[in-house]
Amino acid sequence: MNCHEIHPMLHAYVDGELDLMPSIEVDRHLKTCATCTGMKRALESLRATLRNNDLAYRAPDALRKRIRQSVAATIEEKPQRTFRPWVWQLLALGSLGVAIITLMLQPAANSYQNRLADEAISDHVRSLMPGHLMDVVSTDQHTVKPWFNGKIDFAPEVKDFAAQGFPLIGGRLDYLDNQTVAALVYNRNKHTINVFVWPAKTATATATIQERRGYTVINRDANGLHYCVVSDLNAKELQEFGNLLAQ
C-alpha cells in the first residue's frame, strides 16, 4: 500500500476501528514511512487532547438559555417557512464558535494544575511498578543528595523525616512538566510518597492541594524549588509532610 491508500485509513486505525488485515497493512507501512507515522502521531495527540476531561466544558446555563431563546425567536419570526439545511449549518457553526470561545475563556492556570497533577499521578503509579521506584536506595540524606550530582542541573534539598514518621527511602530521576526532575521517595505506614522537585519558575508561596483519582497531590514552592508531592495517603497527613518539606 502507498501513502495515498494509507491516509484515509489512519483515523480508523488510530481509533482501533480497522479490521485485522487492513490494520496489519497500515502497521507494515508505518514501519517504513516517516510521513504517515508523523500523521498518525498527530492524530493520536489530537485524540488524547480531546479525551482530556479539561476540554469537556458545559456552556453556562445563562448562555444555553440565550441561544435557545434566539433560536426560538428566529423560528417565530418566520413561522410559515421551513427550516432550511443552511440554518442548521449556521447554528452548528455558531455553537462551535461558542464552544471555542468558552474553551479560550477557561482559566489556563487551572487546566495547567490539573494536567500537572495527572502527570504526577501517572509518574507516581509507574514508580510503584516493580523495579521502578528507586535508582538510589538509601535512608541517608547524605547518600541520596550527592547521587543527583551531574544528573540534573540543580541540587534538590534532601532531608530525612524519620523522626516525624516520614522516613526517606531513596531517590531517582523522573520526567514531569517537560523536564527531568528529582524524585525523592518517602514512606508513611506502608504508603509511598513521591516528591518531585525542580527549580521553581515563579515565587508563589501558596500551596495547592488536589484530590484526583484517589490520590492527593500537593504543589508548593519553597526556597526557589518547586515541590510536587503525590501519594494515596490521606490529605491531612500529606499536608503535614508538605509543611515539613517547606520548612
In the complex, the smallest distance separating the C-beta of residue 50 from Zn ion, rounded to whole angstroms, is 24
In the complex, the smallest distance separating the C-beta of residue 86 from Zn ion, rounded to whole angstroms, is 38
Q: What distance lies between CA 135 and its chain's CA centroid?
A: 24
- Residues sharing a CB contact under 8 Å with residue 28, sequence separation 6 or more, in sequence order: 1
Task: Say whether residue 3 binds Zn ion (CB under 5 A).
Answer: yes
Task: Say whether residue 26 binds Zn ion (CB under 5 A).
Answer: no
Residues in 135-194 at the binding interface with Zn ion, rule: CB under 5 A: none
Site for Zn ion (CB under 5 A): how many residues? 3
Stretch that binds Zn ion, among 25-33, 71-79, 159-167, 202-210 (CB under 5 A): 25-33
Q: Are 39 and 13 in contact (CB under 8 A)?
A: no
Task: Say whether residue 207 binds Zn ion (CB under 5 A).
Answer: no
Q: Is 188 helix (H, G, I), strand (E, B) or coil?
A: strand
Residue 11 burial (10 A CB sphere; 0-12, 13-18, 19+) = middle
The x, y and z cell numbers of residue 98, run together, are 461558542
H or E segment to which residue 176 belongs = strand 168-176
Residues in 95-134 at the binding interface with Zn ion, rule: CB under 5 A: none
Task: Say whether residue 33 binds Zn ion (CB under 5 A).
Answer: yes
In the complex, the smallest distance separating the C-beta of residue 1 from Zn ion, rounded to whole angstroms, is 8
> Pairing mode, if any, of strands 136-137 and 191-199?
unpaired
Binding test (CB under 5 A) with Zn ion, winner from 9, 18, 36, 144: 36
Task: Say whether residue 230 binds Zn ion (CB under 5 A).
Answer: no
List contacts with Zn ion (CB under 5 A): 3, 33, 36
